[in-house]
Copies of this chain bind each other. A is one copy, B any other.
């Protein structure tokens, strides 16, 4: 069951980078169950490398909050609590709101056009698939990615895409995503794009914040209904 790579595509970089990406994918996709303890030796031979590069990969994953390490004890795959997810959504609200504001200021006309094209594509898919949520999931990520990159703010982009979104994706995998009202989300996306086209930074930020906030409230409602956190 050793993982196999394309020998010319991924070997370009160093082995530590390969095992880092592979391990990250494995965690996000749920191939390694969340919250489980794993040994370094086990992981090392699983990914066909030594413990040296593996440990470096683990350090990076630790800073991304994907694994937890306790000295002399071991590694466990991160299992996020619902509270942590809610906290992340507050951060997303602040950062993506700012991203939308900056996108309205700095996006090139080509980027805006691409954004609207993406939205049109979503509309077709949505019309076809009505309320199936999964494809819309990836489309939703794509939409947010474009606005984040449209901010042309590297610090903001690195923080959101490099640090936060991995956790969000792991979450969606763990709890197979709360039904996230694709038609409502699409309408919100539409209005955000309109605000960006109008170069209205204030409005774009406000709409994006409400969009993220709605998603958070939607999750909180689900949690209260299902009473998943008795405590």
* Partner pick for A52 among B13, B52, B60, B72, CB 8 A cutoff: B52
Q: A91's contact among B84, B87, B159, by CB below 8 Å, is which?
A: B159
**A13→B165 CA distance, assembly (Å):** 31
Contact among B56, B87, B159 with A56 in the assembled complex (CB-CB below 8 Å): B56
A56-B55, A63-B63 given; A98·B87 CB < 8 A: no
Q: From residue A132, how far is it (CB to closest CB) to chain B in Å?
A: 30
Q: CB within 8 A of A154: which of B59, B60, B84?
A: B84
- Asked if A112 lies at the interface with its beta carbon under 8 angstroms from chain B, I say no
Q: Given A13-B71, A14-B71, A71-B13, A155 and B60 touching (CB < 8 A)?
A: no
Q: In this assembly, does A41 line the interface, its C-beta being within 8 Å of a C-beta of chain B?
A: no
- Residues of chain A in range 55-109 having any CB-CB distance to chain B below 8 Å: 55-56, 59-60, 63-65, 71-72, 84, 87-88, 90-91, 93-95, 97-98, 102
A153 within 8 Å of B by Cβ?
Answer: yes
A126 within 8 A of B: no
Which residues does chain B contribute within 8 Å of A55, judged by CB atoms?
56
Known A56-B56, A59-B59: A98·B102 in contact at CB below 8 Å: no
- What 1/0 mask marks residues of chain A from 148 to 185 whose CB sits below 8 Å from any chain B CB? 00000111101100010000000000000000000000
Q: Are A156 and B56 in contact, CB atoms less than 8 angstroms apart?
A: no
Q: How far is the CA of A60 from the CA of B55 in the complex (A)?
A: 12
Chain B residues in 8 Å Cβ range of A64 = 63
A156 and B14 contact, Cβ closer than 8 Å, known pairs A95-B95, A163-B163: no
Closest-CB distance, A91 to chain B (whole angstroms): 5
Q: A208 to nearest B CB, angstroms?
A: 11
The residues of B that contact A95 with a CB separation of less than 8 Å are: 91, 94-95
Q: Is the CB of B156 within 8 A of A91?
A: yes
A155 touching B94 in the complex, CB below 8 Å, given contacts A56-B56, A60-B59: no
Instruction: Check A163–B153 contact: CB distance below 8 A.
Output: no
Identify which of residues 163-220 in chain A touch chain B, using a CB-to-CB cut-off of 8 Å: 163
Contact call A154/B87, Cβ cutoff below 8 A? yes
What are some 7 contacts across the A-B interface (CB < 8 A)? A14-B72, A17-B71, A59-B60, A63-B63, A87-B155, A87-B156, A90-B102
